Structure 1
Amino acid sequence: MHEQIDANSCLDLISFAEAYGVTDLLDHAKDFVLRNFWEVSGTVKFLDLSAEKLVDFLKCDGLCAPSELAVFRAVISWIEASPEERLNQASLLMSGVRFPLMTFREFQEVRAINLRMESARNRTDVELYLAALKEFANQETQAKCRVRTPKRALVVVGGDQLHPDTGRRVASTEVWFAHRLRSGTGLVKHVEWRKLAQIPDQPKFRHGVAALGEKLYVIGGCYFYTKHDIMKSAYRFDPEQNSWRRLADMKEFRSNFSLITNEGRLFAIGGDKEINANVESVETYDPDTDSWSFVHPLDQPLSGQAATVCNGAIFISGGFNCKYECLVSLFLYHPEGGSTYLSDMTFDRAQHTMEVLRGCLYVAGGVCNLRKFYTDQLVCEMYCPSTDSWSVFVNLPVPHVGAPSAVLEDKLYVLEGYSQEDYTESGLVHRFDPSTNRWENVGRLPGAVTDIRACLIHLPSHFRQ
């Protein structure tokens, strides 16, 4: 049952587990609902929930949704499924919506939905807007309102930055995580960061980071800036024990490579083995045996490429070839069988990001070819696997070269990086919302700002307190 759970079955499993006292299954099913609330709220079973159970979910800090507006919409859909019976429960349910977490723009939709309900029902007692407005504007309520803290946290590791006093670049050993999102003044939300850990041994940048089995893996990279400073070391951080373990070294020295997880293993793909010398080799790590082994190589040496997993398939885009030219390629990589090429990107790029969002691949940032040099790549593209086609979406507002990325609460985050034009650090975290086709600034990282790496990982509750 644990393995078969999905948005359509999770609420039935809760009822089954409650009826038969299966505590472990009950906790697992409730946790699934909280982590996938937005998908669950779109099912028929959601509309059959009792008001009491729905309120319990709404008041939980672990509830995940694209925004608090999405939570409000879910409540409205539940009410409108049987308005004559449920309107008298509306005030109780609205108490679980955290209006102070909404921006002004989001709150305008609350008013619009409220007016629609009044018009449709011709009922003055449907008016919830004034009560919501009072909560939204009440400073005391805002101070007490706890933000939602999903169990999957965005973690950033290592990187480097320009030291403000000495003017030298300094590599980092710091590990931070995005504790929560807060509503800022006006329309902007910002990320609140907390320190998670410190990398043991040497600092790292241009390394690989991935989450596997609820543990954080930090692999390879550089600790300084000469050709002999590339590493093949591997470490694993256990958040539950708050401890690091040194693992077996990779077979190849690697920096500026891709590290992904698939089918319970890590894959270290391409990268530089020394400055201006990239490799085509790929190796995989088996956590059960603490060992690395080579698998099918790439068709050519690559570094600075982006890789991600979508529906169990490994996609690789762009990167530098052996002549350090930026590529337009996109291909499926098979560890046993090699590469299957797909439609090329419209624009060449390397040191960029690629993430899966709403079933498509979103590519942003990096550098592109400019005669014998590189320049910033601001154009962003989206790949649709079902049609094998690319389309352009809104440009990045500033350059993000060597930046990490992640998808959190149905939005794409691109974190810091630098500009190829003048090597200035962007100093910003940008978030793309596909619903509005807009980028917004959500603050800065607390530590290093370039050649950082990031991933999502489940963190124990003690880190959230």
Structure 2
Amino acid sequence: MDDESPDELLFKDHNFSSDLLRQLNGLRQHRILTDVSICAGAWEVPCHRNVLASSSPYFRAMFCSNFRESSEAKVQLKGIDSPVLDWIVAYVYTGEVRIAADNVLALMEAASLLQYPRLFEACSSYLQSQLAPSNCLGMIRLSEILSCQTLKEKAREVALACFPEVATSTDLKELCALELRDYLGDDGLCGEEEKVFEALMAWVKHDLQARKRYMQELFQQVRLQYVHPAFFHHFIANDALLQSSPACQTILERARRQMFSLYGSSAPDCKPLWHVPPRSSYQDFLILLGGRKDNQQTTREVLLYSSQTGQWQSLAKLPIRLYKASAVTLHRSIYLLGGMTVSGGKSLVSHNVYVFSLKLNQWRLGEPMLVARYSHRSIAHKNFIFSIGGLGEGQELLSSMERYDSICNVWESMATMPVGVLHPAVAAKDQRLYLFGGEDIMQNPVRLIQVYHISRNTWFKMETRMIKNVCAPAVVLGQRIVIVGGYTRRILAYDPQTNKFAKCADMKDRKMHHGATVMGNKLYVTGGRRLTTDCNIEDSASFDCYDPESDTWTSQGQLPHKLFDHACLTLQCIPHMTTHS
């Protein structure tokens, strides 16, 4: 508040300064009281020294110091042409200037030279509004010439966010090696590693003789751990240019062993790849597919949940209704395996495999399994999918297991499990598959842990009184396998190294037929059926999160509808790939 005494009034004329500026501009235009002419070559613009000196530090230094120009009637401004001079003087006297594509660069240079920071930033804002994948790299160069940090930051944001489009531009091929390395190595680059590799190779081949010496340094910016193994196998591993570099060959061999060896990084002579996290542009999304919706018919719906927005979004529906199919994520795709369908009033057990691309929001038919099965379990490990047990075409209990090789696109039979069970909790950890509990054909709980050694193709079993789960999922959380409910509220964490169980905080309800997955080192549990205190069974739309750090549960709200017997998966992708109508 203004300090006022009771007998006085502080008058503020808010239009006075703008009126004064307008009057001064009128005096300038009629050459009244002007005392200096600013010149661009032969072009002269009469002005008032005091107005110019008040408008910028540049003119203040010129006219208020002992410079020669302080007393001259005409002052030449070098590097500025006559139209720009007119625009600048008009801006000084009116505070207005038209900024457009045909004058923005000249205005920006003049604003920088003559020290008009707000005009400079206005030009920068205009250029930022014109940014596109086709010009962002050029804008970065321009921003460096003009020392405009705000434009540089915004242009780089666009370049990183629109990497697939920028990668095909001529401007990218014109970057120097240092600039390209900085760009491809940026954690915020919003593109798949396959595209990073293609952009690198296109840059090298643009001037092969001069650029091939940078290949090793730039190849190290490709995060090979996150390249699709089929792409690595077909397009990277045997690339002639990479093979011509001994250093690149070494990187390739290490990557090949880590990707394709069933022994993992513990294999002989297999040093793990340098640890680099996935780029920050990738996010984890929760996917729900199929299941029984609101206790009605099996649904074809596929839902995506973003933990950042807290929103649910519908994706392309399943090609057909599938009862008790299984699903896994592998190489950022979803594989839906088997299940039962109804056709012409008949129930048919399927051996079909459907593959979903989130990038395309499309389903396609994959290589079918060897055995038709439903109520089975599937798990992904490295480049493989294992499909285990279930019920066959004659409703027989299956103890068979088959394995899909995603590189060769083939299924093969593997060793059968020791005891055929339905609805066990399944997880993969440290080169082994673990099957906990389940039920026999008479629906009696089986108190077993069945362990499959992947590289040896052998099984063994362990009896334990701790296990009594049925229709429960299992997830890997840190170094432990967590068995989530299964006609119980109990959460058990199993340590494969010590072969010991630890109890975690119980769920709110006794649950079965629910889904569970891990995102960001937290466990998310979706839907299912719950046993009430009076032993009634109710369908659930609950959506809960377990934090192992605090050993606590919190509600994440509700699913869009009640759901059970569904698949619950985590899929890692770039957010803009999920924006489907």
Task: Name whichever structure is richer in helix by fraction.
Answer: 2
Instruction: State the TM-score bracket (shorter-chain normalisation).
Output: 0.5 to 0.7
Residues 340, 374 of structure 2: 8 Å contact kept: yes
Rounded Cα–Cα distance in structure 2 between residues aligned with 1:227 and 1:396: 39
Which structure has more RCO (C-alpha within 8 Å, separation ≥ 6)?
1
Residues 288, 568 of structure 2: 8 Å contact kept: yes
Rounded Cα–Cα distance in structure 2 between residues aligned with 1:408 and 1:338: 31
Check 1:345–1:455 CA distance in 2 against 1; reply closer, same or farther (3 A cut): farther
| Equivalent position of 2:452 in the other structure | 333
Tell me if 1:424 matches 2:538.
yes
Residues 172, 448 of structure 1: 8 Å contact kept: no
Rounded Cα–Cα distance in structure 2 between residues aligned with 1:230 and 1:304: 17
Check 1:24–1:172 CA distance in 2 against 1; reply closer, same or farther (3 A cut): farther
Check 1:23–1:432 CA distance in 2 against 1; reply closer, same or farther (3 A cut): same
Query: Which residue identity lines up with residue 500 of structure 2 in the other structure?
Result: S
| Equivalent position of 1:193 in the other structure | 312
Query: Which residue identity lines up with residue 410 of structure 1 in the other structure?
Result: N
Q: Which SS does the other structure have where 2:297 is aligned?
A: strand
Query: Which residue identity lines up with residue 284 of structure 2 in the other structure?
Result: R
| Equivalent position of 2:473 in the other structure | 353
Report the alpha carbon displacement of residue 436 of structure 1 after superposing the two structures with TM.
1.8
TM-score in terms of structure 1 length:
0.61
Rounded Cα–Cα distance in structure 1 between residues aligned with 2:560 and 2:366: 28
Gaps of 5+ in 2: 1-175, 192-279
Tell me if 1:232 matches 2:343.
no
Rounded Cα–Cα distance in structure 2 between residues aligned with 1:229 and 1:257: 15
Q: Which SS does the other structure have where 2:185 is aligned?
A: helix
1:325-368 deviation digits (Å, cap 9, x = unpaired):
212222321354322335736141111011111211111121xx
Q: Which SS does the other structure have where 1:203 is aligned?
A: coil
Query: Which residue identity lines up with residue 363 of structure 1 in the other structure?
Result: I
Q: Percent identity?
A: 20
Rounded Cα–Cα distance in structure 1 between residues aligned with 2:446 and 2:314: 36
| Equivalent position of 2:425 in the other structure | 306
| Equivalent position of 1:212 in the other structure | 330
Q: Which SS does the other structure have where 1:462 is aligned?
A: helix
- Indicate the structure (1 or 2) with the bigger Cα radius of gyration: 2
Q: Which SS does the other structure have where 1:315 is aligned?
A: strand
Rounded Cα–Cα distance in structure 1 between residues aligned with 2:341 and 2:536: 23
Rounded Cα–Cα distance in structure 1 between residues aligned with 2:371 and 2:559: 31
Rounded Cα–Cα distance in structure 2 between residues aligned with 1:328 and 1:316: 11
Instruction: Compute the RMSD of aligned alpha carbons.
Output: 2.9
| Equivalent position of 2:41 in the other structure | none
Check 1:284–1:437 CA distance in 2 against 1; reply closer, same or farther (3 A cut): same
Rounded Cα–Cα distance in structure 1 between residues aligned with 2:468 and 2:321: 31
Tell me if 1:324 matches 2:456.
no
Query: Which residue identity lines up with residue 446 of structure 1 in the other structure?
Result: P
Check 1:394–1:171 CA distance in 2 against 1; reply closer, same or farther (3 A cut): same
| Equivalent position of 1:159 in the other structure | 291
Tell me if 1:454 matches 2:565.
no
Match of 1:439 among 553, 556, 559: 553
Rounded Cα–Cα distance in structure 2 between residues aligned with 1:224 and 1:256: 15
| Equivalent position of 2:34 in the other structure | none
Match of 1:173 among 300, 303, 306: 300
Tell me if 1:223 matches 2:223.
no
| Equivalent position of 1:364 in the other structure | 484
Task: Name whichever structure is richer in strand by fraction.
Answer: 1
Q: Which SS does the other structure have where 2:559 is aligned?
A: coil
Match of 1:26 among 171, 185, 188: 185
State the aligned residue count. 311
Rounded Cα–Cα distance in structure 1 between residues aligned with 2:488 and 2:393: 25
| Equivalent position of 1:261 in the other structure | 380
Q: Which SS does the other structure have where 2:576 is aligned?
A: helix
Query: Which residue identity lines up with residue 337 of structure 2 in the other structure?
Result: I
| Equivalent position of 1:403 in the other structure | 514
1:132-184 deviation digits (Å, cap 9, x = unpaired):
xxxxxxxxxxxxxxxx9952211111111346xxxxx21111111112246xx
Residues 205, 452 of structure 1: 8 Å contact kept: no
TM-score in terms of structure 2 length:
0.49
Report the alpha carbon displacement of residue 301 of structure 1 after superposing the two structures with TM.
1.3
Q: Which SS does the other structure have where 1:324 is aligned?
A: coil
Residues 378, 387 of structure 2: 8 Å contact kept: yes
Report the alpha carbon displacement of residue 19 of structure 1 after superposing the two structures with TM.
5.4
| Equivalent position of 2:86 in the other structure | none
| Equivalent position of 2:222 in the other structure | none
Q: Which SS does the other structure have where 1:22 is aligned?
A: helix
Residues 259, 267 of structure 1: 8 Å contact kept: yes
Query: Which residue identity lines up with residue 331 of structure 2 in the other structure?
Result: G
Residues 343, 389 of structure 1: 8 Å contact kept: no
